[in-house]
Structure 1
Amino acid sequence: MITEAPDGDGPCAIRFRRAVTALMIAGLLGSMVLLIVIGSADAFAALTFAGRVTGFLFVASGLIQGAAAAAAFDYWGKRRWKHSGAVTLTGALIALFTSGLLVFLWFEEREYTPYALTYFPLFCWSLWALWLLGREKAWRGIPHPKGFAAGVTATALLASTNLAYSAVYQPYSLPVQFAIDITFGNPVMGPGREIINLPVTIRTENTGKVASYILNSSYQVMGRSAAFEGNSSGLTGWKTDVKRKFDAERYVGPAREEIINTGPVIRAGTWLETGDVQVEQRVAQIPADAGYDLVRATTVIALLRKDRGKIGPEFEVPRHSWDPDQARFFECPPECEDQVLHSGRVVHNNNIVNVTREPRHVYSRWTTGKGSTRVRLTISPADSKGKASADDESYDQYGVFWVGSGVATVPFAALTNPAPE
């Protein structure tokens, strides 16, 4: 490490100045490239105003670093410009606070990312540069140097704090509002009155002001069978009913449900903008002698706020666990259920987060069985084999949420013997 200059203008002193100049310019140019690379992704592609402002601030800081590199060449050269030392000092302060911000955010997760190989050395370099510039009293030549140093330091601290807060901790300013309804239409008897064709309408509307990706969706039509008990002994089975998410009923014995129809509602990977309405029609075909007492339907949709992240186009392609050529996408014990997987890279809308974390992937699993249909989500790094890891991770930072409909219910008798209009 270069610490003290040789005296005089001899060969050693000249080599020292050249080495210091080269190190100072290299650090400032490295900081310039890093800030422009990080900022340009948000400045021209962020989906929020705050994200674009943050991006342009990073790009502007990078341009200042370029000017500081030119000033450093003059300061350790012929010093034709009296403020070159102050500009170089400003560049070193910018490098300290921006690289310090990135180092601070990296320590939250402590994951490997190639960008860490740039801002960790830059952080160490900035400490050395500030020490050297302080020893050289680089602020000489400007009026009120203490006020200048205090102003630059305070501004950098406030800007770094604000960037960290807006990048990681700022709560959502706009709520997500979706309206989902599932309704039954008029039943139609099939030929021979053996099959009941029951229309099901699922309507989804983005009633808020935030566009959202569809991560997965599912609807299910269930048939409930229960014996009528004329001589009631009270709500003796209410604990079992509540545990199975049934209503407690006095004159109905133990009930069971089975799936009649199920499937996704909206294609995964698409999105709904503000005001968009998606209407899907399904038809549940039920034997007229099925023996149900009630038919019920419900739906659920998992979404990701579009202002918090972007999903790669590969997410739209479904992967099936039972296909041998797609087994590489799954990390699943042999006894787990067959499932349909959607997976893709999710990029945070603030690039500061992306350069301080490992790449995240969103995994959305859809599976069904005799009892019910389930949708499961995971946002996490890929495992060591590049497969969908079974380890869950909090995905609040990416604005993932669930929206469900109410439960549509119709007596089975109304399907076989509709009431007269």
Structure 2
Amino acid sequence: MNLRKNSRDASRQRAQRALAHDRQPRVSLIAIPLALLLTTAVLGKFGVNDLLSAFTFPGRLTGAALVAVAFIALLGTAAVMDHWLWHRFAHSGVVAFFSSFVAFLTNFLLLSELLENADVIGYKVLFGALTIGSAWAVVAVWRTLAVIPTPKRVATALLATVVIALGNFGYQNLYLPSQREVRPTIKLTMEKPVPSNDHKAFSVPVDITLENHSEVSFNVLGTELHAMAQQVSLSPKDRLRRQWRADAEKWETFERTNPLSRRELRQPGQLVEAQPWMRYGEPIGANDTVNARVVVQLPMDTQYDQVAFYASAHLARMDRVSVERLHFKCYSWDSRQVPPCVKQKRDSDSIIYESSLRENNAIDAETRDPRHIDVYWQFGTQGANIMETISTADDRYESQTETNDRYGIRIVETGPVERILWDIKGKK
């Protein structure tokens, strides 16, 4: 009796295993083609958008690659159906396996990118499901693969070699060139001062040259030139070390950084003139040069002994982000739409401009919340400066590192370029 009972139990267990084996292909037959079809649709959408609107050639090449993967995933869907149902193509299992692996690898890489950068939760969930579905497809097809043209170990080694070679090619030829640092330069040149006809004032012409020696274009977020004037006298005897310390304690800003001099007595610099020297929002082309001239006027009997010029330009790399339309927003002294970091600077005022931003690829543009940029043209008695912030509609601000690295904001500065005024004042 016990032998008969054990035989019946074993038969029942074998029947249950067979039934589970029969059910597995039915579940796979629904889930795996669905995952591959969704992969085709989503990657095809991203790929076409990148192919048509990416800012750079690597971006468009990435779009073409996504379109190719979408086509491979679609081919894999048909191969899976033929491998399990139709049996019309002898090597449909091999095609299904390799197509599923390509879809899995692409979905996994995009999921890793989205987990780090995406804001839209739905896309993280979607690519998580697509990654699991395509991984399931790889395992399921591999287990049912009876014949493969070459041994499986050789096929696996070949596939790994191809993946490593493609990754190395993309890193060397696409990623590294996009990360290469490019930064224009600014040069300041002062011309000979020109006295007025009545000899009561004089002007100092200043030539500004911005040179872009790279293959990258830029959008101008803002430019400024400001002149700081100082009174400088000489001490009749050497100054003590504690007086040097007192000078060093005033180095709160670069404009207030005076030399630690043995004899010179310098008063804090005062802003005498500040102005932009390029129109905001204008592009600067690759290998382009921009020239401008500004004129600073002072009275002949000025109390100052020297004047120092500073110039800067804040630019956005056009291969990282598109500044859609930079326009005037408000004044800091006449608006409540000012962030706390600007309100804290009570000794300076700001003219504020804003623009929406578009990122350089369709995936980021689709999966991240829209960003906009605010540009603050700041001025006060201690000098002039430009500052920018990038944020979302709900006031989530990007860090300075993210602003520089992801959005390609570059700050180009020069100065001080100093001019002694004693020879001019001696002619009055």
TM-score tier, shorter chain, comes to 0.7 to 0.9
Aligned to 1:199: 205
Among residues 205, 208, 213, which one is paired with 2:214 in the alignment?
208
Aligned to 1:70: 78
- The 2-side partners of 1:174 and 1:358 are apart by 27
Q: Which amino acid aligns with 2:276?
A: P
- The 1-side partners of 2:398 and 2:40 are apart by 40
Q: 1:207, CA displacement in angstroms? A: 2.5
Among residues 388, 393, 406, which one is paired with 1:377 in the alignment?
388
Which moved further from structure 2: 253-262 or 242-251?
242-251
- Give me the CA root mean square deviation: 3.5
What is the aligned residue count? 401
Question: Closer, same or farther in 2 for the Cα pair 1:358/1:155, shift >3 Å?
Answer: farther
Aligned to 1:58: 66
- The 1-side partners of 2:89 and 2:427 are apart by 93
Q: Which amino acid aligns with 1:310?
A: V
- The 2-side partners of 1:256 and 1:329 are apart by 29
1:341 aligns with 2:352: yes
Q: Which amino acid aligns with 2:207?
A: T
Q: Deviations over 1:94-148 (max 9, x none)?
A: 22111111222233357445432321110121222223223322xx344115133
Among residues 302, 307, 313, which one is paired with 2:314 in the alignment?
302
Secondary structure of residue in 1 paired with 2:40: helix
- The 2-side partners of 1:143 and 1:19 are apart by 28
- The 2-side partners of 1:414 and 1:64 are apart by 77
Secondary structure of residue in 2 paired with 1:82: coil
1:233 aligns with 2:222: no
- The 2-side partners of 1:156 and 1:112 are apart by 29
Q: 1:352, CA displacement in angstroms? A: 5.4
Q: 1:194, CA displacement in angstroms? A: 3.2
Q: Which amino acid aligns with 2:208?
A: I
Which moved further from structure 2: 147-156 or 291-300?
147-156
Q: Which amino acid aligns with 1:318?
A: F
Q: 1:358, CA displacement in angstroms? A: 4.8
Does the Cα contact within 8 Å between 1:115 and 1:355 map onto a contact in 2?
Answer: no
Secondary structure of residue in 1 paired with 2:85: coil
1:311 aligns with 2:311: no
- The 2-side partners of 1:136 and 1:195 are apart by 92
In structure 1, stretches of 5+ residues that fail to align are none
**Structure index of larger Rg:** 2
> Counting helix residues as a fraction of each chain, which structure ranks higher?
2
Q: Which amino acid aligns with 1:63?
A: F
Secondary structure of residue in 1 paired with 2:281: coil
- The 1-side partners of 2:139 and 2:42 are apart by 22
Secondary structure of residue in 1 paired with 2:231: strand
Among residues 281, 288, 295, which one is paired with 2:300 in the alignment?
288
Q: 1:370, CA displacement in angstroms? A: 0.8
Question: Closer, same or farther in 2 for the Cα pair 1:71/1:52, shift >3 Å?
Answer: same
TM-score (norm 2): 0.80
Secondary structure of residue in 1 paired with 2:86: coil
- The 2-side partners of 1:373 and 1:259 are apart by 8
Question: Closer, same or farther in 2 for the Cα pair 1:208/1:252, shift >3 Å?
Answer: same
Percent of aligned positions that are identical: 24
- The 1-side partners of 2:34 and 2:46 are apart by 18
Q: 1:6, CA displacement in angstroms? A: 4.6
Does the Cα contact within 8 Å between 2:332 and 2:352 map onto a contact in 1?
Answer: no
Q: 1:212, CA displacement in angstroms? A: 2.5
Q: 1:351, CA displacement in angstroms? A: 4.9
TM-score (norm 1): 0.81
Among residues 126, 131, 136, which one is paired with 1:123 in the alignment?
131
Aligned to 2:227: 221
Does the Cα contact within 8 Å between 1:365 and 1:375 map onto a contact in 2?
Answer: yes
Question: Closer, same or farther in 2 for the Cα pair 1:179/1:157, shift >3 Å?
Answer: closer
Secondary structure of residue in 2 paired with 1:77: helix
Q: Deviations over 1:186-242 (max 9, x none)?
A: 43334643333332221212123332232332211111113333x122465334445
1:38 aligns with 2:49: no
Secondary structure of residue in 2 paired with 1:210: coil
Aligned to 2:279: 267
Among residues 67, 81, 92, which one is paired with 1:84 in the alignment?
92
Q: Which amino acid aligns with 1:205?
A: E
Q: Deviations over 1:273-299 (max 9, x none)?
A: 223221222222222222100011111
Does the Cα contact within 8 Å between 1:312 and 1:344 map onto a contact in 2?
Answer: yes
